[in-house]
Structure 1
Amino acid sequence: MPNPSDKSLTVLRPLAERFPNVDSAMAEIARLAAIRTLPKGAIHVISDIHGEDQKLRHVINNASGSLRPLVEKMFGDHMDADEFRDFLTLIFYPPEVIKVLRQKPFTDEELRSYATTTLRNLFELVRVLAAGYSLKRAIGIFPVEYRELFSEMLHEPTTSRRQEFISAIVNELANRDRVWNLIHVTGRLVRNLAIYELIIGGDCWDRGPRGDRVVDYLRQQPNVSFVWGNHDVAWLGAHLGHPALICNVLRVSLRYRRITQIDEGYSIPLTSLEHLAQNVYGDDPAVHFMPKSTGLRSMEMVARMQKAAAVMQFKLEGQMLQRRPEWELDHRRLLHLIDYDNGSIDLGGTQYPLRDTYFPTIDPKNPYQLSAEEELCLKGLRHSFVSSQKLGEQMRWLVSHGAMYLIRDNHLIFHACLPVDEDGEFLSMQIGGESVKGRDMLVALEKLLVRVMDRPEEADLDILWYLWSGPCSPLFGKDRIATFERDFIADKASHHETKNPYFALIHEEWFCDKVLAEFDVDTKMGIIVNGHVPVKVDEGESPLKKSGKAVTIDGAFSEAYGDRGYTMVMEAERTFLALHHQFESVEAAVRDGVDIIPSLTDIRIWDTPRRNADTELGTHFSFQIDLLEQLIEAYRNNEIAQAALSSGARLV
């Protein structure tokens, strides 16, 4: 049996391959110690994007409004208003601006002059932003093809590197028609350096036009972390073949007429659903299922497709809830409660008339059984969702970058809530036969999300549905989702959904301290950060709760919910909220220099700017330093052999 020291050496040997002698290990310790003294990088948190890919792009491009003040500070005194606007727009939208500039009749001399001036200004920005990074990390963000060139340009403004240095670069690339490409990638680099880490607080899909493009754009960012939301797990479950979640994401997409993301974005044909709607619901006016916008398909056809998907969803959910009695959700099986003769439903002892009584696929004696036509439709849809290469790639990326919660500099970030009772006691949930609550619930669910991607078993897939809308789901936080009631009952009293007490209790300081302590976050400095519930800005609601220790950053990013959006930015000097207003279009931003200038609200101002050493990153560096010190000790004890020193070095 190996002794403990043997185990320690086994851990250290891979490290020895990177740092093969005492000097290299000491040099790395010195480097890490120096990085710990740097100001912490700016972390941006965006939640509840809901398919609004263009607005997301602008918010990321202008770094939640933090780039504009920096550009003003650096160049405001020697650029006029038009030059400043054009330079800022170039940083935000380099490919679109360059496309316009390429159409202008530049002479060769004018092109070289413009390129030289623009690149010099861009790299002045790059140098300022890169100074907050370790050189290794900054170079890692540089585009691979230009990495060595950009590394040289970091040293450009020195006595030995004068105007001729950058002019030589411009001349060579202009001669080869590549100078525009350098301007493009440098403008993008400025944006990438302005955000040290981008955290998405959940809900990439639904309501907005292109959830697929949201994820595509996130995958292009240099450092992204992701917190799961209930809409995201619904799409994950749909991709993994859960029948009820397939029908659910289709129903929502059809409600908002976001069909393009389905057929074009994910190559999922809707032919089978359209065939079902045409053959079975062909005479149904489906007036209460009309989509919220127009498009190529007729409004009536889309309404019938949505209704067909909804009825299948209710049937499939009924089947699932019957096989999951431990959830105690039998009261949400509603189809057998319908009186099909008089067109009403009994909910909790109240008889409600139905505003739509056309159910051609429901057998009142067996209401949860799919009809033959529905079975055939679902079979085709399931195959398409499971086989979608694009959707699969995006889901694997989200799982690899995702978590149920994150902690950054004493900010505890998760999507919706921790389910609690009226007294603030954590409620439990059954996962894998074990009852878990609080932090343990999120840990167990995170393991499930990783597991289900490789082994999509029915029990785990059903939990993905529960995360979408279950009463103890930390991604949902209500007693129910009243989809059937909103679709079929006019009386809005039946539509009510009761929020978990968590959302009221986060106004209380004692409760926030309890939640923070559950995750070992400093209760004096900690802040809870959630999305999920839109802040009613127009009604004067504040995202900062009365406790001063909890913030909601879902500002209704989606146009369907108000076209606003909050981002939270954690800088070295402060934490602030940026409220982003209506965004017209990328075209307007490029054409008119339109910028979303957010309203900023400080949440925390630090007396002493936060350094890497003060954060979780500093703890990580300390752990690395400790391992390196153990490696040095192993070298000195000759437990691990050192590699030969390079010329000029000496042993310590």
Structure 2
Amino acid sequence: MPKPTISNRSINGDLRYLKLLARDFPTISQVTTEIINLEAILHLPKPTEHFLADLHGEYEAFQHVLRNASGNIKRKVKEIFGNTLREKEIRDLCTLIYYPKQKLELVKQNDTDLSDYYQTTLNQLIAVCRNVSSKYTRSKVRKSLPPEFAYIIEELLHESSDDRNKQAYVGVIIQTIIGTGRAAGFVKAICELIQRLAIDQLHILGDIFDRGPGAHLVMDTLSKYHHWDIQWGNHDILWMGAAAGNKTCIASVLRLSFRYANTQTLEEGYGINMVPMATFAMETYANDPCSIFHPKIEDPSRRPNEKTCKLIAQMHKAIAIIQFKLEGQLYQKHPEWNMNDRRLLETIDTQKGTCTIEGVTYPITDCNFPTINPEHPYDLTPEEQELIDKLQHSFLISDRLQTHVQQLLLHGGMYGIYNSNLLFHASVPMNEDGTLKEVSVEGQNVAGRDLMERVEQLVRTAYDEEADSQERNQACDYFWYLWCGPDSPLFDKAKMTTFERYFIADKETHKEPKGWYYTLREKPEICDHLMDAFGVTGKHRHIINGHVPVRASNGENPIKADGKLMVIDGGFAKAYHNTTGIAGYTLVYHSRGFQLVQHAPFTSTEEAILNGTDIRSTTQIVEMMGHRAMVNDTDKGAELREQIADLEKLLVAYRRGFIKEM
């Protein structure tokens, strides 16, 4: 199809922009070179995208999935060496690629001929690296190279040892690397390059925080990662609210940490001082067994001793009561949230040992509330106020936490649209008939995409130093609604029954009825309607969610609505393994289509290094394309075509004399 003729009027209309563009491309030769380069890129295979959800602080499993590219690296190694290497040799090579530093230490202890090991291994690594880099331009690969070895790696990637004329050249390079004592450093560099090139873009569908011990380590990794984005989850928002100074969010972050005996992220990760908390709890609940507040510990290796468990239980109860008081104050302050029915402290009758919810009276499992004044149940005692003020100060001055939140703001949002895929963590509130539900946000009724964007604006306002202080305070309060509000797109349930789960044995009161989205999303027409509302186009378009664990052990399928919806929360957190029967999903979108990788529980990094054990993964083909997708078929392709059109217009402007070459 011939390209449309570029008119003089069109050039005149864009002349100011074209003159700016000419600064980067001051000659006809440079313009044509760039057009040729961009046209060539359009015809490269589409780079690989990885989708992960609900990491919940499980740093070791997350790291391993990144390092092995959800099994893709092992698949490539088998494709290259399947006929020449034994299974153990393949396993050892893969372990080296995943953990080069640690694996080399073991090799040095056990291998008597290191020179021969390096000679063989370097040739193998170069073959793997050549394979994973084949879908990128030399320029992109060059930008990914470690500076120390950039020239050498580039030479080895583009010179084949199969070529007779080049065999000696390549051989001498490898021998010289070994002879100069640089082999270990070179191996580490090329292994990390393979890891980097195996995943072009990483999508995190929320919930980095909660339960697991390493959310701060996950954030450290992401902060250095080459290309990633995140759709905020409800647990991320809770921590972001805490970092913004929302005291109710702070109390809930601590409560959840004590509930799962996970203070590592708080103390070691972010330097939150727990001494005032411990002191207050021991003094206030010294004679209280706090039996219903003993922590839930899924991993026996992380179980503290009995004395520590008792202290955690005391702190757990202390902060839970403070949270219930603080949230009650917020519900009174914000009647527009319609959550005053969650002010439950005022219904407690300690004499009778009961509380009343929705007109029904229930016995309660704990009647010792030394800090609650029945006349004013939501007032903090002076000691509680002093404690929460100190905790707020700790959160606000934690440099590492504030840096991580800035990363979440920089790379994140409430939703994302990438290559015809609509990504969000939990829900888009809907009515029973499938229409988008209008939700009042700061007095404005919004639905669907407008709701997501209005919520995102509020989140950013809480961190906007230029914003009016009252607006910032309002936005800061709103984090709590996003955490547990009935029409929050990060929650979308009738209520959060935290109080009931602690104090009422009747499990009927623990139920949290889900919004209509969770039922309607099973229907293909509903998914199409939602994607239309968000402006998602394309022949192969999908919604990708996390948030609600898929119970694979019960036969639940993560692929819904005839393949239009994929729910990839398979339970990374150990707390969910018994529920889901697996340990997480990874969705892989490469040039040939979608693959859903289901992971078995990860043992440990140490086990992976010592014995070469990998996460056992099974791959399900979700959707294969009729043809191999190229860069031209992606969002990046659309950007490049726009750039080419601008450059072609600049080329005409040069040739017709509108702009002079420099």
Distance between the aligned counterparts of 1:386 and 1:345, measured in 2? 36
Residue from 133, 138, 141 that aligns with 2:136: 133
1:560 correspondence with 2:570:
no
1:101 correspondence with 2:116:
no
Residue from 78, 87, 98 that aligns with 1:72: 78
Distance between the aligned counterparts of 1:533 and 1:299, measured in 2? 29
Aligned-pair CA distance for 1:492: 0.8
The answer on whether the counterparts of 2:50 and 2:199 sit within 8 Å (CA) in structure 1 is: yes
C-alpha distance after superposition, 1:74-131 (max 9, x if no partner): 011111222211111111221221222233364xxx3232222212211111111111
C-alpha distance after superposition, 1:371-427 (max 9, x if no partner): 111111111111111111111111111211112222233221111110011111212
Q: What secondary structure, in the 3-state scheme, does the structure 2 residue paired with 1:481 have?
A: coil
Distance 1:430 1:322, change over 3 A: same
The answer on whether the counterparts of 2:496 and 2:512 sit within 8 Å (CA) in structure 1 is: yes
Q: Which moved more, 1:448-457 or 1:365-374?
A: 448-457
Equivalent in the alignment of 2:57:
51
Instruction: Supply the AA of the counterpart residue of 2:497.
Output: A
Equivalent in the alignment of 1:284:
288
Equivalent in the alignment of 1:518:
533
Residue from 296, 299, 304 that aligns with 1:295: 304
Equivalent in the alignment of 2:414:
404
Aligned-pair CA distance for 1:330: 1.0
Residue from 600, 621, 628 that aligns with 2:647: 628
1:427 correspondence with 2:437:
yes
Q: What secondary structure, in the 3-state scheme, does the structure 2 residue paired with 1:38 have?
A: coil
1:222-261 equivalent positions in 2, closer than 5 A: 222-261=226-265
1:312-461 equivalent positions in 2, closer than 5 A: 312-455=322-465, 457-461=472-476
1:614 correspondence with 2:618:
no
C-alpha distance after superposition, 1:571-617 (max 9, x if no partner): 11121111001111111111111111311111111111111111212
Distance between the aligned counterparts of 1:89 and 1:322, measured in 2? 56
Distance between the aligned counterparts of 1:90 and 1:209, measured in 2? 26
Residue from 20, 25, 31 that aligns with 1:25: 31
Equivalent in the alignment of 2:267:
263
Equivalent in the alignment of 2:166:
162
Distance between the aligned counterparts of 1:26 and 1:448, measured in 2? 45
Equivalent in the alignment of 1:647:
none
Equivalent in the alignment of 1:586:
605
Distance between the aligned counterparts of 2:195 and 2:343, measured in 1? 50
Residue from 615, 621, 628 that aligns with 1:602: 621
Distance between the aligned counterparts of 1:173 and 1:7, measured in 2? 57
Distance between the aligned counterparts of 1:210 and 1:358, measured in 2? 34
The answer on whether the counterparts of 2:57 and 2:209 sit within 8 Å (CA) in structure 1 is: yes
Aligned-pair CA distance for 1:246: 0.5
Distance between the aligned counterparts of 1:486 and 1:607, measured in 2? 50
Q: Which moved more, 1:608-617 or 1:94-103?
A: 94-103
1:190 correspondence with 2:194:
yes
The answer on whether the counterparts of 1:235 and 1:245 sit within 8 Å (CA) in structure 2 is: yes
C-alpha distance after superposition, 1:128-171 (max 9, x if no partner): 11110122222222223322332222223164763444444444
Distance 1:576 1:309, change over 3 A: same
- What is the Cα-based RMSD across aligned positions, in Å? 2.0
The answer on whether the counterparts of 1:210 and 1:258 sit within 8 Å (CA) in structure 2 is: no
Q: What secondary structure, in the 3-state scheme, does the structure 2 residue paired with 1:62 have?
A: helix
Residue from 34, 37, 60 that aligns with 2:43: 37
1:469-548 equivalent positions in 2, closer than 5 A: 469-522=484-537, 524-548=539-563
Instruction: Supply the AA of the counterpart residue of 1:260.
Output: Q
Distance 1:491 1:523, change over 3 A: farther
- Between the aligned residues of both structures, percent identity stands at 37
C-alpha distance after superposition, 1:321-352 (max 9, x if no partner): 11111111111111112223322111001101
Unaligned 5+ runs, structure 2: 1-8, 298-302
Distance between the aligned counterparts of 2:414 and 2:344, measured in 1? 31
The answer on whether the counterparts of 1:314 and 1:335 sit within 8 Å (CA) in structure 2 is: yes
Residue from 80, 83, 92 that aligns with 2:98: 92
The answer on whether the counterparts of 1:340 and 1:364 sit within 8 Å (CA) in structure 2 is: no
Instruction: Supply the AA of the counterpart residue of 2:558.
Output: P
Distance between the aligned counterparts of 2:150 and 2:342, measured in 1? 57
Distance between the aligned counterparts of 1:537 and 1:337, measured in 2? 40
Distance between the aligned counterparts of 2:489 and 2:246, measured in 1? 20
Aligned-pair CA distance for 1:55: 0.6
The answer on whether the counterparts of 1:506 and 1:547 sit within 8 Å (CA) in structure 2 is: no
Q: What secondary structure, in the 3-state scheme, does the structure 1 residue paired with 2:158 have?
A: coil
Distance 1:220 1:95, change over 3 A: farther
Distance between the aligned counterparts of 1:4 and 1:391, measured in 2? 50
Distance between the aligned counterparts of 2:346 and 2:650, measured in 1? 68
Aligned-pair CA distance for 1:178: 2.9
Aligned-pair CA distance for 1:635: 3.2
Q: Which moved more, 1:248-257 or 1:113-122?
A: 113-122
Instruction: Supply the AA of the counterpart residue of 1:416.
Output: A
C-alpha distance after superposition, 1:489-521 (max 9, x if no partner): 111111110111101111111101101111222
Distance between the aligned counterparts of 2:440 and 2:100, measured in 1? 50
Distance 1:468 1:145, change over 3 A: farther
Distance 1:25 1:4, change over 3 A: closer
Aligned-pair CA distance for 1:451: 3.3
Equivalent in the alignment of 2:4:
none
Aligned-pair CA distance for 1:10: 4.4
Aligned-pair CA distance for 1:46: 0.4
C-alpha distance after superposition, 1:230-264 (max 9, x if no partner): 10011111111110001111111111111111111
Equivalent in the alignment of 1:648:
none
Aligned-pair CA distance for 1:523: 7.0
1:15 correspondence with 2:15:
no
Distance 1:291 1:196, change over 3 A: same
Instruction: Supply the AA of the counterpart residue of 1:149.
Output: I
**Number of equivalences:** 638
Equivalent in the alignment of 2:3:
none
Q: TM-score, normalised by structure 1?
A: 0.94
Distance between the aligned counterparts of 1:49 and 1:396, measured in 2? 19
Residue from 108, 112, 117 that aligns with 1:114: 117
Distance between the aligned counterparts of 1:299 and 1:148, measured in 2? 56
The answer on whether the counterparts of 2:204 and 2:231 sit within 8 Å (CA) in structure 1 is: yes
Equivalent in the alignment of 1:650:
none
Distance between the aligned counterparts of 2:451 and 2:165, measured in 1? 58
Q: What secondary structure, in the 3-state scheme, does the structure 1 residue paired with 2:620 have?
A: strand
Distance between the aligned counterparts of 1:400 and 1:630, measured in 2? 33
Distance 1:430 1:142, change over 3 A: farther
Instruction: Supply the AA of the counterpart residue of 2:597.
Output: A
The answer on whether the counterparts of 1:112 and 1:170 sit within 8 Å (CA) in structure 2 is: no
Distance between the aligned counterparts of 1:551 and 1:360, measured in 2? 48
Distance between the aligned counterparts of 2:642 and 2:456, measured in 1? 24
Distance 1:310 1:144, change over 3 A: farther
Distance between the aligned counterparts of 1:537 and 1:67, measured in 2? 25
Q: Which moved more, 1:612-621 or 1:142-151?
A: 142-151
Aligned-pair CA distance for 1:304: 0.9
Aligned-pair CA distance for 1:317: 0.9
Q: What secondary structure, in the 3-state scheme, does the structure 2 residue paired with 1:595 have?
A: coil
Distance 1:6 1:239, change over 3 A: farther
The answer on whether the counterparts of 2:462 and 2:473 sit within 8 Å (CA) in structure 1 is: no
Q: What secondary structure, in the 3-state scheme, does the structure 1 residue paired with 2:21 have?
A: helix
Distance between the aligned counterparts of 1:247 and 1:14, measured in 2? 53
Aligned-pair CA distance for 1:548: 2.7
